[in-house]
Amino acid sequence: MQCGLRLFLMVVVLFASRMVFAQRVGGPMLGPVELRTAKLWIEVKPGSSVDLWYWKRGAMTQARRISRKTTSDQWFAPITFFVTDLQPSTIYEYQFLINRPNEKKPFKADGAFTTKDLWQHRKPAPDFTFLTGSCAFFNDPSVDRPGKPYGGDSSIFQTMAEDPAAFMLWMGDNWYTREVDYFDEWGLWSRASHDRSLPVLQPFLKSTSHIAIWDDHDFGPNDIGKHYVLKPVSKDVFAHYWMNPSLGQNGQGIYTMYSYSDVDFFLMDDRWWRCSDQMKDSIDGKPNPGKEMWGKVQMDWLKNALLYSKATFKIIVNGSQILNSVSPYDKLRDFPAEYDVLMDFLTLHTVSGVLFFSGDRHHSEIIKTERVGNYPLYDITVSPLTSGTHAFGGPERTNPYRVLGIDQQQNYGRVSITGSKGRRQLRIEFVGVNGNVLKQWSLSESELKAAR
């Protein structure tokens, strides 16, 4: 009799567990974690109710709950939970319960996060590590182009899930819309939901915080810019599948800033205001002021944000490369009027600590540009996570501005910021699918001091 009862209870628990997972589409995913707040994300089936329970580690009996409901007439139901009134430098655990409104308490942790340390005016800036990369193509045979699959080994995300880091910085092309996606609203939502739900991603999504920018493929069609008629929909999708601190200003674009320890990240939007790549770079031998990648509003924001920043390293993050003059593909240098404005600004205002991070190229490299009477600028490109690779060719095969290059290999970046005040160092390791370090490079804050 007891054996029969145990078997019955096991069946009930197994059935309930399967029902919960049947209602969960993707996640949980951890967003930015600050001193007293955190963001968490999950996607469920439309018409589901979700409870988020959270508590200090070791104090589950004091757990607090946030409840959300979705409607059955939604196409997709991603939900962001904003957790508040936390304590700095404290570990919290959490559990999501789906369609269990009568559950009065949590019973196990789905994951955990640690709030930031209040170090300012108290102690040295904390050392930390973050991960970064771009170009994540997941094969979808029913709608992909015929021939060899474009997507590579997605087990790289399993490796990344086991790589301890403060956060992951996604640098665009975080999913790839296809022809079945980018002609209508439903398609844009469907691609984000489909790729976010893939089982190989789930451990990584909850292993660390995630912030992101976009590039053309997760904005819309290849090489598209401000003329894309569905760009408001793309922004809405982005807002529901990422948890960035903010999304532009006055409803325009997705640019924002994120800070961790003594590093500021200026997350640029290279699509919302972007003119067609086919627009002439120059008119009558002079840079065409009408050809813009970032636009005047965003450029003005970036200038003021850089001047306000007191960060040791000021990392400008962009989907397209910035400095690579040899590249035949899209880059800020192809928008020479805007490029000149940025370079003149950095020289005039003697801004220290600036370097660029970028994606897009399906290879990784570090480009160096010398400046007369000032520190050199570096553009660190990390790509691809899973998309197709290629060999350096044409004028880029022996690019004289390249100080490090990796082609024909999937990889991600592991970036560490370490050292005492005045001697901070940035080191990047380019890591392969199986966790092997392919190449590494570093520089110190003293190498990025502006001439006075």
Q: How far, in Å, are 1, 117, 347, 406 from residue 422 at the CA level? A: 72, 20, 22, 31
- In DSSP terms, which residues pair with 171 in a beta bridge? 213
Mean pLDDT of 233-246: 98
Given this model, what pLDDT does residue 8 score? Answer: 42
Label residue 452 by pLDDT band (50, 70, 90). confident
Mean pLDDT of 125-142: 98
Helix ranges (H only) for 138-230 are 156-161, 185-196, 202-207, 216-219
Given this model, what pLDDT does residue 11 score? Answer: 38
In this predicted model, what pLDDT tens digit does every residue of 370-383 receive, in sequence order?
Answer: 999 999 999 999 99
C-alpha span between 224 and 232 (Å, rounded): 14
Q: Is the dihedral of CA 13, 27, 77, 52 positive or negative?
A: positive
Mean pLDDT of 115-142: 98
Residue 101 is classified by DSSP as T
CATH assignment of 128-448?
Answer: 3.60.21.70
Query: pLDDT at residue 6 above 70?
Result: no
Given this model, what pLDDT does residue 13 score? Answer: 39
Query: pLDDT at residue 1 above 80?
Result: no
User: Residue 187, Cα to own-chain centre: how many angstroms?
Assistant: 21
Question: Residue 415 has which token pair?
Answer: 């970036």
From the list 47, 41, 40, the residue with the least C-alpha distance to 22 is 47
Query: pLDDT at residue 240 above 80?
Result: yes
Label residue 451 by pLDDT band (50, 70, 90). confident
Given this model, what pLDDT does residue 21 score? Answer: 55
Mean pLDDT of 34-45: 98
Q: How many residues does the chain have?
A: 452
Percentage of the chain beyond pLDDT 70 is 95
For 399, counting Cβ atoms within 10 Å of its Cβ (0-12 exposed, 13-18 middle, 19+ buried), the class is middle
C-alpha span between 219 and 231 (Å, rounded): 7
In this predicted model, what pLDDT tens digit does every residue of 383-429 receive, in sequence order?
Answer: 999 999 999 999 999 999 999 999 999 999 999 999 999 999 999 99
For the chain, helix, strand, coil in percent to 5 are 25, 30, 45
Region of 350 (left: φ > 0; alpha: ψ -120 to 50; beta: rest) is left
Q: 187, 133 in Cβ contact below 8 A?
A: no
CATH assignment of 2-114?
Answer: 2.60.40.10
Residue 99 is classified by DSSP as S
Q: How far, in Å, are 123, 237, 258, 381 from residue 302 at the CA level? A: 29, 24, 13, 20
Query: pLDDT at residue 60 above 70?
Result: yes
Given this model, what pLDDT does residue 10 score? Answer: 42
Label residue 4 by pLDDT band (50, 70, 90). low
Q: How far, in Å, are 94, 126, 306, 412 from residue 89 at the CA level? A: 16, 12, 28, 28
Mean pLDDT of the chain: 95
Query: pLDDT at residue 15 above 50?
Result: no
Label residue 343 by pLDDT band (50, 70, 90). very high
How do the domains of the chain map onto residue ranges?
2-114, 128-448
From the list 206, 169, 195, the residue with the least C-alpha distance to 30 is 206
For 109, counting Cβ atoms within 10 Å of its Cβ (0-12 exposed, 13-18 middle, 19+ buried), the class is middle
